[in-house]
Chain A
């Protein structure tokens, strides 16, 4: 087959497309089959992170949020305020990133409450958190653009915590200023 024969070239591309189609169909079957053997199979319809978090929190006993609660955004702390908060141990700092990132490095004294495994993370921290639902809590995730900390903070408010704030800069801003870190390997 050569480029000098456009007809056979097109026919060849058609054949290539058929092979692609066969592989794509096979991949769909493999993907669906593998999913059946997962510990937690992926549902066929996608749910956003916020919807999944809302379902998790309702399973944990919280009421459905009101429209006002949904619209409420968390108060923020600046980096300087967070430094003082951490150094003077004014409350609890929670890391909402996936646990693997927490283990690689986190703000000193922070506890892991991963957004993607909130229910299990909360069960581990229950004793520390439920001592006082009015205690000061600061949640952070990886960087400015991440939404894990906001979702975790909303979930905590729905579980009855009244003093939850965010550190928007997240781990990236903390590391950027070369501040102390802790590892949990």
Chain B
């Protein structure tokens, strides 16, 4: 596993896949902001005054971050941004699951609030978080400094 996470080609593949996933996820939501706002509302963490602002802003941010990640420009900052955003997604999803809410992940456009689907989303988000962490770790810790 350690060798894999130090492999440049593997990390490049992760970067391209993550970048593509973020561009796609953002583009789908830009097309249907009301549906995404309804998804955000199911998490019951943001006041009504902020839900639509988040629904309008988060998708362009995902597209922007995905494009930066794909282009390789400001790679380290893009890796950090993805890691930060994934950490926030995980916290919001986990709090909703712990509270027993029926949430619609809204990760790739709208769905229906559900009891079991968010657990799949949580698993997927954990995988993406690990990938983002591996990329950021690679950016801040040079290979020769790793244990």
Complex CA gap A31/B59 in Å reads 8
B66 to chain A, nearest CB (A): 11
Q: Is the CB of B52 within 8 A of A48?
A: no
Q: Contacts A19-B80, A20-B80 given; indicate if A12 touches B112 (C-beta within 8 A).
A: no
B1 to chain A, nearest CB (A): 19
Q: Is the CB of B115 within 8 A of A45?
A: no
Q: Is the CB of B64 within 8 A of A49?
A: no
Q: Is the CB of B60 within 8 A of A34?
A: yes
Complex CA gap A1/B141 in Å reads 8
Q: Is the CB of B37 within 8 A of A46?
A: yes
Q: A80 within 8 Å of B by Cβ?
A: no
Q: B142 within 8 Å of A by Cβ?
A: yes
Interface centre among B34, B48, B65, B76 (most CB of A within 10 A): B34
A84 to chain B, nearest CB (A): 27
Complex CA gap A150/B90 in Å reads 31
Q: A110 within 8 Å of B by Cβ?
A: no
Q: B105 within 8 Å of A by Cβ?
A: no
Within 8 A of B (CB), among A9-52: 9, 12-13, 15-17, 19-20, 23-24, 26-28, 30-32, 34-35, 38, 42-49
For B76, the chain A residues whose CB sits under 8 A away are: 12, 16
Q: Contacts A27-B58, A27-B61, A35-B33 given; indicate if A20 touches B112 (C-beta within 8 A).
A: no
For A44, the chain B residues whose CB sits under 8 A away are: 49, 52-53
Complex CA gap A38/B64 in Å reads 20
Q: B3 within 8 Å of A by Cβ?
A: no
Complex CA gap A42/B58 in Å reads 14
Q: B17 within 8 Å of A by Cβ?
A: no
Closest to B36 in A: A42
Q: A4 within 8 Å of B by Cβ?
A: yes
Closest to B116 in A: A145
A162 to chain B, nearest CB (A): 28
Q: Contacts A2-B142, A46-B41 given; indicate if A31 touches B57 (C-beta within 8 A).
A: yes
Q: Is the CB of A42 within 8 A of B33?
A: yes
Complex CA gap A35/B34 in Å reads 11
For A19, the chain B residues whose CB sits under 8 A away are: 74, 77-78, 80-81
Q: Is the CB of A42 within 8 A of B80?
A: no
Q: Is the CB of A13 within 8 A of B80?
A: yes
Q: Other than the known A34-B60, A35-B33, what 6 A-B pairs have Cβ atoms closer than 8 Å?
A: A12-B76, A16-B76, A16-B81, A19-B74, A27-B61, A34-B30
Residues of B within 8 A of A (CB): 30, 33-35, 37-38, 41, 48-49, 51-53, 55-61, 64-65, 68, 74, 76-78, 80-81, 84, 102, 112-115, 140-142, 145
25 pairs across A/B with beta carbons < 8 Å? A2-B141, A2-B142, A3-B145, A13-B80, A13-B140, A16-B76, A17-B80, A23-B68, A23-B81, A27-B58, A27-B61, A28-B57, A31-B57, A31-B60, A32-B57, A42-B33, A42-B34, A45-B48, A46-B49, A46-B52, A116-B34, A116-B35, A143-B112, A145-B113, A145-B115
